[in-house]
C-alpha cells in the first residue's frame, strides 16, 4: 500500500492541522547551532499556509524525561521558524494544557503556532499503550487533521507519531514523502555502480545496515572508529584505537560474505594516529598494517582515516552513480582530524547521480565543514530512522500512514 500524501486530505482551508515535525535541533545557551531540521519542514508548512490551514506544529527536543525543563523549550525554535517564514508564529507554553488550547483557538486561516516540547509529557514516549493513547487523545483535541512530517522519529511508536495518526485523518508531509522515495531508491534497483560509505564510532551501530546492503551494493567503504575493528579482524594491531572485540567474528563474517558475493569491501590503507583524544594532540599518519609503529607505539589512538585512504574513497565515490554515506570518517569536530570526512563530503558533491547523506552526525559534519545542503542529492533528517529503513525494518510511523 502506498504512503498517504497531502493530496489525500483534500482541502484543508480553515482546518486546524497538527503537523508533527522534527525540530530536535542542537542548542547552545538557548541558541540554535544548526537549523537544518527547521528549514526541512518549510515546504510542508508553506503548502499548508497557502491552502489556508491553521497550522499547529509539534515536536520533541532532547530528552527532558517526561517533565518540563526550560533548557529543552521549543521557544527558540518557534522564533527561528517565524524568521524563516517571515511572519509571526504563536507559541504555547504547554503541550495540551490551557495555553495550547488558547493558541489553537486563536489561529486564523494561514496562521502558524508551535506548542511546547511533546516530551514534557510522559505519555509521548510511554511504553504503556494506554498511557500513550491517552496523551494522543489530548493532542487530537487541538486539531482536525494530522500531517506527519518528522522523519527522524518514524521508527518510534510514540503518541504523536503513531497513535495520533490513528485518531485523526492523517497523511505524510513533503519531507517524509521525499525521505521514503530516496531511501527506497537505495534499496530497490539503485543505479550502479552503487557505493555505501560507513563511518562513525561503532560497528555494532551498523550491523543491520551492513547485513541488508551487502547483497545490494557494489562497494562498501569503511571508515570512522569502526574501521579499527575491521583492521583488528584482519590481524592488525590498532593501539588504543576504538575496538569492539566482541564484534571481531561478526566482522570476519562480513569480510568473507563480501568476498563470496563479489562486493568490494574497501578498508583504509592508512590512518591518522594521535597521542590522545584531544584537539591539540600530537599526530602522525601511519600505514594500516603498522599503526603501532609510530612514536606513540601501542598508546597511539586512531582519530581519522589517512590521506591516501581519503583519496581512494573519494575516487570510488566520484565514479559511482548512487552513493549512501552514514557516519563521519574521523573526529571531525577537531580540525586536525576532519580531513577524511571533508574529502568524502567533497567527493559526494561531485557524484553524477544520487548522493545521499544519512542524517545524524554525517549531516552535522557536512554543515560544520561548510558544505551547502543543496550540494548533495539528499541530506536525510533521520539518522536512526534512515538506518532502520535501510535495514529493512518496519517503521511504525510509516506503516500507520499506509507504507508497506
Instruction: Detail the residues annotated as belonging to a binding site for (2R)-3-phosphoglycerate.
Output: 37, 119, 156
* Whether 37 is catalytic: yes
Q: In what order do the strands lie in the sheet with 54-58?
A: 90-92, 112-115, 54-58, 16-20, 145-148, 170-172
- Classified as helix, coil or strand, 273 is strand
* Whether 360 is catalytic: yes
In sequence order, what are the residues at sequence separation of 6 or more whose Cβ sits closer than 8 angstroms to the Cβ of residue 356?
Answer: 182, 183, 186, 323, 324, 325, 376, 377, 378, 379, 380
- Look at the chain and count its residues: 404
Q: How far apart are the first and last CA of the chain?
A: 6
User: Which one of the listed residues 47, 178, 185, 202 is annotated catalytic?
Assistant: 202
DSSP letter assigned to residue 3: P
- Write down the residue that cell numbers 535501510 correspond to: 390
- Binding site per annotation, positions for substrate: 22-24, 37, 60-63, 119, 156
- Binding site per annotation, positions: 22-24, 37, 60-63, 119, 156, 206, 302, 333, 359-362
* Whether 87 is catalytic: no
| H/E stretch holding 301 | strand 301-305
User: Which one of the listed residues 353, 377, 384, 402 is annotated catalytic?
Assistant: 384
The C-alpha atoms of residue 310 and residue 147 are separated, in whole angstroms, by 41
* Whether 28 is catalytic: no
User: Which one of the listed residues 37, 80, 132, 219 is annotated catalytic?
Assistant: 37
Rg (CA), the chain: 23
- Binding site per annotation, positions for ATP: 206, 302, 333, 359-362
Which residues participate in catalysis according to the annotation? 37, 202, 360, 384
Amino acid at each position: 500500500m502506498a504512503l498517504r500524501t497531502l493530496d489525500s486530505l483534500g482541502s484543508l482551508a480553515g482546518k486546524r492541522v497538527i503537523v508533527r515535525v522534527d525540530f530536535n535541533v542542537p542548542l547552545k545557551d538557548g541558541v540554535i547551532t544548526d537549523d537544518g531540521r527547521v528549514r526541512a519542514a518549510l515546504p510542508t508548512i508553506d503548502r499548508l499556509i497557502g491552502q489556508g490551514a491553521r497550522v499547529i506544529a509539534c515536536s520533541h527536543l532532547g530528552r527532558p524525561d517526561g517533565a518540563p525543563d526550560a533548557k529543552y523549550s521549543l521557544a527558540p525554535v518557534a522564533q527561528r521558524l517565524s524568521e524563516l517564514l517571515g511572519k509571526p508564529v504563536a507559541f504555547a507554553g504547554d503541550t495540551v494544557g490551557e495555553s495550547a488550547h488558547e493558541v489553537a483557538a486563536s489561529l486564523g486561516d494561514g496562521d502558524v503556532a508551535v506548542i511546547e516540547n511533546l516530551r514534557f509529557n510522559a505519555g509521548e514516549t510511554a511504553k504503556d499503550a494506554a498511557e500513550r493513547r491517552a496523551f494522543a487523545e489530548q493532542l487530537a483535541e487541538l486539531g482536525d487533521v494530522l500531517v506527519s512530517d518528522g522523519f527522524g522519529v518514524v521508527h518510534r511508536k510514540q503518541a504523536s507519531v503513531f497513535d495520533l495518526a490513528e485518531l485523526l485523518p492523517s497523511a505524510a508531509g513533503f519531507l517524509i514523502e521525499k525521505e521514503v522515495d530516496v531511501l527506497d531508491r537505495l534499496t530497490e534497483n539503485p543505479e550502479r555502480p552503487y557505493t555505501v560509505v560507513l563511518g562513525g564510532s561503532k560497528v555494532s551501530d551498523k550491523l543491520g545496515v551492513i547485513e541488508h546492503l551487502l547483497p545490494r551494493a557494489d562497494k562498501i567503504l569503511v571508515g570512522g572508529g569502526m574501521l579499527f575493528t575491521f583492521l583488528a579482524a584482519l590481524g592488525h594491531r590498532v593501539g588504543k584505537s576504538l575496538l569492539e572485540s566482541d564484534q571481531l567474528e561478526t566482522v570476519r563474517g562480513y569480510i568473507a560474505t563480501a568476498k563470496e558475493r563479489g562486493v568490494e569491501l574497501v578498508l583504509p590503507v592508512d590512518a591518522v594516529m594521535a597521542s590522545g583524544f584531544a584537539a591539540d594532540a600530537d599526530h602522525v599518519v601511519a600505514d594500516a598494517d603498522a599503526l603501532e609503529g609510530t612514536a606513540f607505539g601501542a598508546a597511539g589512538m586512531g582519530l581519522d582515516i589517512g590521506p591516501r585512504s581519503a583519496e581512494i574513497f573519494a575516487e570510488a565515490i566520484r565514479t559511482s552513480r548512487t552513493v549512501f554515506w552514514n557516519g563521519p570518517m574521523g573526529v571531525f569536530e577537531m580540525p586536525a582530524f576532519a580531513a577524511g570526512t571533508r574529502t568524502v563530503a567533497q567527493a559526494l558533491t561531485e557524484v553524477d547521480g544520487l548522493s545521499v547523506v544519512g542524517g545524524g552526525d554525517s549531516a552535522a559534519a557536512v554543515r560544520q565543514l561548510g558544505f551547502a545542503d543543496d550540494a548533495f542529492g539528499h541530506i536525510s533528517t533521520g539518522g536512526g530512522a534512515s538506518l532502520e529503513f535501510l535495514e529493512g525494518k518496519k517503521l511504525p510511523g510509516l506503516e500507520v500512514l499506509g507504507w508497506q
